[in-house]
Amino acid sequence: MEVWLVRHGVTAHNQEGIWQGQRDVPLAPEGRSQAQRLAVRLARLGLTWTALHSSDLSRARETAEIVGERLGLTVRSDRRLREVCVGELAGLTRPEVRARFGDYVARSQEDPWNARFPGGETLAELYDRVWAFLNELGEGRHLVVSHGGAIRAAVLGTVEAQSAVPWRIRLENTSITRLHFPEGVRGGGFVHTVGDAAHLEPGWNTGG
């Protein structure tokens, strides 16, 4: 089984450095352009896809729909692919978070997986729901459009590094992360590619 994880296209919140979490923020115009470039790239590969899955939040869903239209795939939405719920941090910038929620920031630095976002989830809870989704996938090549936190949880679980700091994995918007499970998820897997965003490089040819 192969799982190709794609982070959604960029939003205005991304561009402005504002925490989103599960706020339903739509794609920015640049995000739609990124999704189109991604769709062209994936179409050129000529691969056969078992299914196209997406978080139900609009920024992921719209990214998936743009790709699905190009590849001839129908989007299957799943709430478990949502970004971590950051609770009261949603709508704030990082400086505002540090000023208002210093205690949380300190806890998250000591134990990032179990520090609960004020009014939200823990990263451990995010991990559990993402892996519940992955464990239900069957054989084949699955394309999954999700969010930075969810993709990091998938990567760290694959390499059995759940205690690592997830934010050290850099993922550009619409980047591709590939996981391979030769004997299915329960048989263990490996990470093939993390954060591949070659289609966003200047001069990348989108024609054809």
pLDDT in tens, 61-117: 999 999 999 999 999 999 999 999 999 999 999 999 999 999 999 999 999 999 999
Q: Which residues contact 110 (CB under 8 A, 6 or more apart)?
A: none
Domain that holds residue 93: 2-200
Residue 88 lies in a domain: yes
Percent of the chain with pLDDT strictly greater than 90? 86
- DSSP designation for 84: P
Question: Between the CA of residue 72 and those of 3, 49, 77, what are the distances in Å?
Answer: 18, 10, 16
Domain at 146, CATH number:
3.40.50.1240
Residue 206 lies in a domain: no
In whole angstroms, what is the distance from residue 191 CA to residue 143 CA? 15
Q: What is the pLDDT of residue 185?
A: 79
Q: Is the pLDDT of residue 208 over 90?
A: no
In whole angstroms, what is the distance from residue 5 CA to residue 179 CA? 8
Residue 43 lies in a domain: yes
Categorize the per-residue pLDDT at 161 as very low, low, confident or very high, splitting at 50, 70 and 90: confident
**Considering its fold, how many domains does the chain have in total?**
1
Residue 207 lies in a domain: no
Q: Is the pLDDT of residue 206 over 70?
A: no
In whole angstroms, what is the distance from residue 150 CA to residue 154 CA? 6
Residue 208 lies in a domain: no
The residues that bridge with 184 in the sheet, in sequence order, are: 182
Is 180 known to be catalytic? no
Categorize the per-residue pLDDT at 164 as very low, low, confident or very high, splitting at 50, 70 and 90: low
**181-205: per-residue pLDDT in tens?**
988 777 688 999 999 999 999 888 7
Crossing angle for the helix pair 58-71 and 29-45, to the nearest 10 degrees: 40
Residues 8, 13, 147, 199: which is the catalytic one?
A: 8
Residue 127 lies in a domain: yes
Categorize the per-residue pLDDT at 54 as very low, low, confident or very high, splitting at 50, 70 and 90: very high
Residue 205 lies in a domain: no
In whole angstroms, what is the distance from residue 145 CA to residue 64 CA? 6
Residue 108 lies in a domain: yes
Is 8 known to be catalytic? yes
Per-residue tokens: 158: 């694959």
Q: Using alpha carbons, select from 148, 166, 140, 155 the residue that is nearest to residue 189.
A: 155
Q: Using alpha carbons, select from 20, 37, 156 the residue that is nearest to residue 84.
A: 20
Question: Are the C-beta atoms of 17 and 92 separated by less than 8 Å?
Answer: no
Residues 2, 83, 121, 199: which is the catalytic one?
A: 83
Question: Distance of alpha carbon 123 from its chain centroid, rounded?
Answer: 14
